Amino acid sequence: MPKYVIGIDLGTTNCALAYAEAPADPREPASVTLESIPQLVNPGEVRDESLLASFLYIAGATDFPAGSLSLPWPSDEHMVVGELARKRGVESARRLVSSAKSWLSHSGVDRTSAILPPTAPEGVEKISPLEAARRYLDHLRQAWDSKHPDAPFADQQVLVTVPASFDAVARELTQRAAEEAGYKSVILLEEPQAAFYAWIERHADWRDRVRIGDLILVVDIGGGTTDFTLIAVTEREGELQLERVAVGEHILLGGDNIDLALARHIESQLAAKGTKLDSLQLHALWQQCRAAKEQLLSEDAQKAEHPVTILGKGTGLVGGTIKAKLRREDIDRILLDGFFPTASSSDMPARRRAGLAELGLPYAADAAITRHLARFLRQQASTAEHGTVRRGASGLAAPTHILFNGGVLRAPIVRDRIIDVLNSWLAAEGLPAVQPLFGEDLMHAVARGAAYYGTARQGRGVRIRGGVPRTYYIGIESAMPAVPGMPAPMKALVVAPFGMEEGTGVRIENQEFGLYVGEPAEFRFLLSATRKNDKAGDLIDDPGEDIEELALMEVTLTGNQGEMAPVSLESLVTETGQLQLWCVARDGRRWKLEFNVREQAV
């Protein structure tokens, strides 16, 4: 059995690692520890940091002195990961891989192709979003092994977090990146849930802070994405329970957008003085503004402005550089007016209208995060089929509590604006103000919460329930003689009964079916919102109107062409809401079919 549970936040801008050791007494809660991460901070200088910067710098032959990129473990010295990559990327943006996690979620590109950095000049090697993620995860594994030689990483239970809105391909690629980085036992967990687990871990008295009927909104704004999640406080057998009831759509909007807005602001100031920037200089300015913003918004910040310096294009510039200043008052104005404006709960985000656009990340068309929140509470969360969703008179999902997560929300000005806007919506519904849930480190909460959840899976903590909201079936073709012009009758086999909790599986006992492999075959997924008593393995001979077809999947499973393999079935609903149906042959071969059971629920 693993000695430790390791939680990893694979972030857009920073990664974090935390771990928990199960106590000898199972009645005692496991304590979570934050692990420091060795990384290069300057050439020849390795230092432990609490975060691993999610940046990769592709070094040229003369970028660094020979031997100055060595780590405490064997490493590829022309690919620099971490804080030094972030620093050097400010100076040479075209060699910097950033926002790899956002690219990993981008369905419009081949995420396994070498496309990063997108602005790399001729002769500079590119890598894929998958490879970038693998390198970050590999660095974390190597860092752990350097600090815990008596407890190898490969022997531990590992949880890696992903945005709640990641699609099936992005989740699959994250899993693949982890496996290619040497992770032997990895589970994916949603970031907003992990953040809430971190709050529970820090507050053993959480049952005294919330009550039955409460609705907790988790707002997670990181470097690349914004996620919204609703968690309801329910009751089971006299005990308070937590149930995830709604997850928002994928919103590619976060700290990266804010940094670019700041860069555009300075660009306009320079233009007014006669200095125009090209695209490469703007990209460098973007990275400079990221660092300046973090300095000015830090809790102990004392300065009202921060200098930014960009390399010039010609010899006419003094010192070959362009100098400007980013002011704190400009950051506040851009944040509040552009990204967190006051809005009503009926204000919906604008949608993109252009018929043609450059290929790149599919950023949200509207930068106003408050309007995206209104859409989530008005349209998505309010249509979730759960009686536990507390709503106002107009149908607006009405949270009683709010929990913040993500680096953007370290700024009190942002948290205060979100609370003010949300409270104005609740007041319009005649409901009391939302109560903030404080007390967590926003930069490390996701990693800490993932580690805590790993112990909860072992029965040593509280788990958030997330049972499937419908009964799910797969179509089984009847074994009957062919009749001209009529398809063979279809039966419906229950593979995920109503309420089956995420993170659990079921084996269909004492039944075998014929699986066609080696050639294209159709698989039909069905669901019912009303048949809540069907059990796993039940075979419905004549599906009626209360069972509807959900999706038709055509795939070619590996095997000999035309072979029909006798298989038994096993189903698993993962922590990220994927229904995995495994077909297991007598000779041990296994095939997987996968479907997202949340898409129809929210």
> pLDDT tens digits for 116-146?
998 888 889 999 999 999 999 999 999 999 9
- The tokens of 298 are what? 């830090």
pLDDT of residue 381: 67
Q: Does domain 4-189 have CATH number 3.30.530.20?
A: no
Is residue 37 scored above 60 in pLDDT? yes
Q: Determine the average pLDDT of the residues in 58-73.
A: 93
Is residue 325 scored above 70 in pLDDT? yes
Is residue 483 scored above 80 in pLDDT? no
* Beta strands, E only, 451-596: 464-465, 471-477, 490-496, 504-507, 513-517, 520-528, 539-540, 548-556, 563-573, 578-585, 590-596
CATH number of 255-339: 3.90.640.10
Residue 58's Cβ-side half-sphere holds a number of Cα atoms within 13 Å equal to: 23
pLDDT of residue 316: 45
Confidence of residue 15 (pLDDT cuts 50, 70, 90): very high
Is residue 313 scored above 50 in pLDDT? yes
Confidence of residue 109 (pLDDT cuts 50, 70, 90): confident
pLDDT of residue 498: 85
pLDDT of residue 503: 80
Question: Which range has highest mean pLDDT (13-17, 73-77, 201-205, 508-512)?
Answer: 13-17
- Average predicted confidence (pLDDT) for the chain: 88
Q: Determine the average pLDDT of the residues in 65-73.
A: 93
Is residue 377 scored above 90 in pLDDT? yes
Q: Domain boundaries in the chain?
A: 4-189, 255-339, 471-596
Q: Determine the average pLDDT of the residues in 244-273.
A: 89
Sign of CA dihedral 491, 497, 502, 507: negative
Q: Determine the average pLDDT of the residues in 316-322.
A: 61
* Beta strands, E only, 358-452: 401-405, 435-436
| 201 SS3 class | helix
pLDDT: is 497 or 597 the higher one? 497
pLDDT of residue 385: 52
Confidence of residue 64 (pLDDT cuts 50, 70, 90): very high
pLDDT of residue 317: 44
Which stretch of 67-71, 462-466, 471-475, 527-531 has the lowest confidence by average pLDDT? 462-466
d(CA 90, CA 74): 26
pLDDT of residue 187: 92
Q: Determine the average pLDDT of the residues in 399-407.
A: 94
Is residue 488 scored above 80 in pLDDT? no
Is residue 356 scored above 60 in pLDDT? no
Q: What is the pTM of this model?
A: 0.80
- The tokens of 86 are what? 């972030």
Is residue 235 scored above 60 in pLDDT? yes
Q: Determine the average pLDDT of the residues in 529-556.
A: 87
Q: Report how far apart, in Å, the C-alpha atoms of 501 and of each of 158, 468, 496, 578 are.
A: 20, 6, 9, 11
Confidence of residue 602 (pLDDT cuts 50, 70, 90): very low
Q: Determine the average pLDDT of the residues in 337-361.
A: 79
Helices 279-297, 83-91: axis angle to 10 degrees equals: 130
Q: Determine the average pLDDT of the residues in 324-338.
A: 95
Identify whether the C-beta of residue 579 lies closer than 8 Å to the C-beta of residue 596: yes
Q: Give 585's strand partners.
A: 567
DSSP 416: H
